[in-house]
Amino acid sequence: GQSLEQPSEVTAVEGAIVQINCTYQTSGFYGLSWYQQHDGGAPTFLSYNALDGLEETGRFSSFLSRSDSYGYLLLQELQMKDSASYFCAVRGYQLIWGAGTKLIIKP
């Protein structure tokens, strides 16, 4: 079957670093994407990894290990506006989404 697992909730302190993990099992694999969704809003694209390694975009980085079927999103210098849900999504023969990780940031 196809599945993605990510933690349901992560709590961190403003200014800190947080890592959100995603493990997957899919039929076929083309890449791993990360999206951010604020409460009541639409998902917005953050990053995409097709190859092993780290992709960096400003305060956000995303990592992929295809051999381990694992990836993570790293958020640095956390700001209150980063409070949101973060979804990993895997492109296999279809696009499958994780259930999302709610990131709670405390001052």
Partner 1 sequence: NAGVTQTPKFRVLKTGQSMTLLCAQDMNHEYMYWYRQDPGMGLRLIHYSVGEGTTAKGEVPDGYNVSRLKKQNFLLGLESAAPSQTSVYFCASSGQARTDTQYFGPGTRLTVL
Output the smallest distance, CB 94 to partner 1, in A: 7
Assign 71 to helix, strand or coil. strand
Question: Cα dist. 36→27, 42, 46, 55, 84 in Å?
Answer: 25, 8, 7, 16, 7
CB neighbourhood size of 4 (10 A): 21
Please say which residue, 43 or 71, places its beta carbon nearer to partner 1.
Answer: 43
Q: Does the footprint of partner 1 cover residue 84 (CB under 8 A)?
A: no
Q: Does the footprint of partner 1 cover residue 29 (CB under 8 A)?
A: no
Tell me the number of residues near partner 1 by CB under 8 A.
21
Binding test (CB under 8 A) with partner 1, winner from 12, 20, 36, 98: 98
